[in-house]
Amino acid sequence: PSGRVSLTVNGERHAATVDNRTSLLDLLREQLGLTGTKKGCDAGACGACTVLVDGRRVNACLTLAVRLEGAEVTTVEGLAPDEDDDLHPLQEAFIEQDAFQCGYCTPGQIMSGIGCIREGRTGSPEEIREWMSGNICRCGCYTKIAKAVEQAAG
Ligand code: FES
């Protein structure tokens, strides 16, 4: 069975026909061509697919697209949509702190970091690490990621 869903992604309205089991991750990547959001485990265990839904961070692989009628989704592409836009302060901080190696987890780390900052969970590197513990980095850049989030939190 399939259904229609209309939602806003990075400020743009979209209407899509989706199978009832289609994840937000597959809708973003396969139907909307927004491949900045990464698929790691596809099972809620790695955080590579983290996006914001109505301002809250979620694993897009665990979120059913059909449930998102009227939702506002922000992906990494929405942070600095045009070439001339300044990067988001957390994107700048990731560059300054050198907070990645292979970069595969980075979009999810950044979206999760934005959520972490909004939730006010940035009191110490330990607190940041704990509140971002759903985001795995196989290169082990956790210390630098926490520094970047701390920097952007100001
Ligand atoms: Fe969604 Fe790993 S791809 S948590």
Per-domain residue ranges for the chain?
2-78, 89-153
| Residue 32 CB partners (closer than 8 Å, separation 6+) | 9, 14, 16
**What pLDDT does 50 receive?**
98
**What pLDDT does 1 receive?**
86
Alpha helices by DSSP H, 4-141: 24-26, 89-97, 106-118, 125-131
Nearest residue to 112 (alpha-carbon basis) of 44, 49, 67: 49
Architecture of domain 2-78: Roll (3.10)
How far is the centre of ligand 1, averaged over its atoms, from the C-alpha of 62 (Å)? 8
How far is the centre of ligand 1, averaged over its atoms, from the C-alpha of 91 (Å)? 21
Is residue 65 within 6 Å of ligand 1 at its C-beta? Answer: no
Give me the average pLDDT of each 10-residue run along the chain (154 residues).
Answer: 95 97 98 98 98 98 98 97 93 98 98 98 97 97 98 96
How far is the centre of ligand 1, averaged over its atoms, from the C-alpha of 84 (Å)? 30
How far is the centre of ligand 1, averaged over its atoms, from the C-alpha of 133 (Å)? 13
The CATH fold of domain 89-153: DNA polymerase; domain 1 (1.10.150)
**What pLDDT does 83 receive?**
87
ipTM above 0.95 for this complex: yes
Same fold, 2-78 and 89-153: no
Helices 106-118 & 142-153, crossing angle to 10 degrees?
Answer: 40
Ligand 1 atom nearest residue 41's Cα: 2
